[in-house]
């Protein structure tokens, strides 16, 4: 018997779960209906008159970014675009994490706090990069927001991939002048700047009435004192071995959802879900945890992003506006050829090139070609 998927759990127990907001309810419904009749379908006929299944139905995917079974082609296309922008320099990995004491503030103000977390991490990297002691230039940064821990706990943090060089004020490429213990910048110093910037901007949001806060001012001040006096986690890893390692990392982290179906190991008759998790505090050992289905769904729901929120952002010379021209200028200064243009495929060609799957070949007889004969649109209500 196969292990259940997230969709199986939502179909079995989702009707008993009350979502926190209409937006998260809509997302959970889409994940539940993915590749079912409710999403609409295409009807195909096989041209092999000996085929045992001449008429076939293919159901549409939900294409929701939180769905663990969707987005493969979108991820591949995004990866190809990023590959064309990588330079032959070292790339560093830095992680900025919010302390758990801020979870309550973040839960009620996700849009504002997530944005502030990403902006503050870029502010910190930019400040150190501009210092001529370290680089004296503007690097390229890809930032990816994650809100989950391995146990599906709420754990907002940002993974940043930072180039070991940048564009200086004269528009020339400049390598990082030195690193601290093989890391790009001193993590303790980054922590102080990051913490100070985040708390300063958070207080401004509070003063301007842009934050929801149900407790009194005394409770807020007490919280600020507590988190100001503690160390925040700014984690720097060794530099990547090369551009290919950067790509492999991006493939694992950028388009993933809070939990993959491969981590879900079982669900018993009482509705308890068994899933695997990695214990980083215990030598990265793989362990297993059991949760009631409704608690499992609640934890997953915590990580549904605010509507329209962009969790992958580009800064510095990788910022969207004018990015192509800047990269071409850097490559020219390094006497390197311009990147090859990224080829865009239609769905059928992309499936064949990327995964070796011919979507026009009948999967039942393996000989006939499929012709679309009808389309059923997605149902408007769930």
Tens digit of each residue's pLDDT (9 = 90 or more) over 254-303: 778 899 999 999 999 899 999 999 998 898 899 999 999 999 999 999 99
Number of H helices and E strands in the chain, helices first, is 11, 12
Can you tell me the distance from the alpha carbon of 283 to that of 287, in angstroms, rounded to the nearest whole number? 11
Q: What is the dihedral of CA 126, 128, 131, 133, to 10 degrees?
A: -150
**Residue 234 carries which DSSP code?**
E
Question: Average pLDDT of the chain?
Answer: 89
Q: Is there a contact between 232 and 98 (Cβ–Cβ < 8 Å)? A: yes
User: Residues 12-32: what's their mean pLDDT?
Assistant: 94
Q: Is residue 350 part of a domain?
A: no
Can you tell me the distance from the alpha carbon of 155 to that of 217, in angstroms, rounded to the nearest whole number? 25
Can you tell me the distance from the alpha carbon of 121 to that of 90, in angstroms, rounded to the nearest whole number? 20
User: Residues 6-35: what's their mean pLDDT?
Assistant: 95
Overall number of domains in the chain: 1
- List pLDDT tens digits, range 235-256: 888 788 777 788 778 777 777 8
Can you tell me the distance from the alpha carbon of 150 to that of 4, in angstroms, rounded to the nearest whole number? 18
Single out the residue of 73, 74, 6 nearest to residue 258, CA to CA. Answer: 6
Q: Is residue 110 part of a domain?
A: yes
Can you tell me the distance from the alpha carbon of 169 to that of 99, in angstroms, rounded to the nearest whole number? 35
Choose between 381 and 142: higher pLDDT. Answer: 142
> In terms of residue numbers, what domain contains 83?
72-258+305-333
- Which CATH number do you get for residue 97? 3.40.1310
Tokens read off for 246:
């950067």
Q: Is residue 355 part of a domain?
A: no
Q: Is residue 205 part of a domain?
A: yes
Cα torsion angle, 302, 153, 78, 336, sign: positive
Q: Is residue 175 part of a domain?
A: yes
Residue 123 pLDDT: 98
- 3-state SS class at 242: coil
User: Residues 306-328: what's their mean pLDDT?
Assistant: 91
Cβ burial, residue 36 (10 Å; 0-12/13-18/19+): middle
Residue 382 pLDDT: 44
Q: Is residue 150 part of a domain?
A: yes
Can you tell me the distance from the alpha carbon of 339 to that of 330, in angstroms, rounded to the nearest whole number? 11
Give percent of the chain with pLDDT exceeding 90. Answer: 63
Can you tell me the distance from the alpha carbon of 352 to that of 354, in angstroms, rounded to the nearest whole number? 6
DSSP string, 8-41: HHHHHHGGG---SSHHHHHHHHHHHHTTSGGG-E
Map 159-196 to HEC letters. Answer: EEEEEEEEECCCCCEEECCCCECCECCCHHHHHHHHHH
| Alpha helices per DSSP H over 99-158 | 103-108, 110-130
Tokens read off for 67:
């769905």
Sequence-distant (≥ 6) Cβ neighbours of residue 290 within 8 angstroms? 272, 273, 274
Q: Is there a contact between 53 and 366 (Cβ–Cβ < 8 Å)? A: no
> How far lies 208's CA from each of 156, 203, 204, 269, in Å?
23, 9, 6, 51
Q: Is residue 38 part of a domain?
A: no
Choose between 198 and 3: higher pLDDT. Answer: 198
Q: Is residue 214 part of a domain?
A: yes
Least confident piece of the model among 175-189, 287-301, 361-375: 175-189
């Amino acid at each position: 018997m196969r292990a259940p998927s997230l969709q199986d759990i939502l179909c079995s127990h989702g009707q008993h779960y009350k979502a926190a907001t209409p937006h998260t309810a809509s997302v959970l419904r889409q994940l539940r209906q993915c590749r079912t009749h409710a999403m609409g379908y295409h009807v195909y006929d096989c041209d092999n008159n000996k085929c045992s299944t001449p008429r076939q139905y293919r159901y549409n995917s939900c294409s929701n970014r939180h769905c663990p079974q969707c987005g493969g082609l979108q991820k591949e296309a995004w990866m190809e675009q990023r590959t064309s922008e990588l330079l032959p320099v070292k790339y560093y990995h830095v992680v900025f994490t919010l302390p758990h004491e801020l979870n309550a503030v973040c839960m009620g103000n996700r849009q504002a706090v997530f944005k502030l977390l990403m902006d503050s991490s870029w502010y910190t990297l930019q400040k150190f990069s501009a210092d001529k002691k370290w680089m004296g230039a503007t690097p390229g940064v890809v930032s990816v927001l994650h809100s989950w821990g391995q146990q599906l706990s709420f754990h907002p943090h940002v993974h940043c991939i930072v180039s070991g060089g940048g564009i200086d004020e004269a528009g020339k490429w400049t390598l990082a002048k030195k690193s601290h213990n093989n890391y790009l910048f001193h993590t303790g110093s980054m922590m102080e700047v990051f913490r100070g910037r985040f708390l300063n901007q958070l207080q401004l949001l509070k003063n301007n009435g842009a934050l929801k806060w149900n407790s009194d001012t005394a409770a807020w001040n007490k919280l600020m004192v507590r988190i100001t006096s503690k160390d925040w986690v700014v984690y720097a890893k060794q530099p990547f071995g090369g551009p290919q390692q950067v790509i492999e990392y991006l493939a694992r982290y950028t388009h993933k959802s809070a939990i993959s179906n491969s981590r879900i190991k079982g669900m018993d008759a009482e509705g308890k879900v068994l899933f695997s998790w990695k214990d980083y505090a215990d030598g990265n050992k793989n362990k297993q945890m059991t949760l009631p289905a409704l608690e499992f769904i609640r934890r997953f729901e915590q990580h549904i992003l605010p509507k329209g929120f962009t969790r992958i952002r580009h800064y510095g010379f990788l910022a969207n506006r004018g990015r192509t021209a800047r990269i071409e200028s850097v490559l020219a200064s390094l006497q390197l050829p311009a990147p090859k243009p990224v080829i865009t495929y239609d769905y059928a060609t992309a499936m064949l090139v990327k995964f070796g799957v011919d979507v026009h070949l009948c999967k039942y007889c393996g000989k006939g070609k499929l012709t679309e004969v009808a389309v059923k649109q997605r149902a408007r209500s769930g």
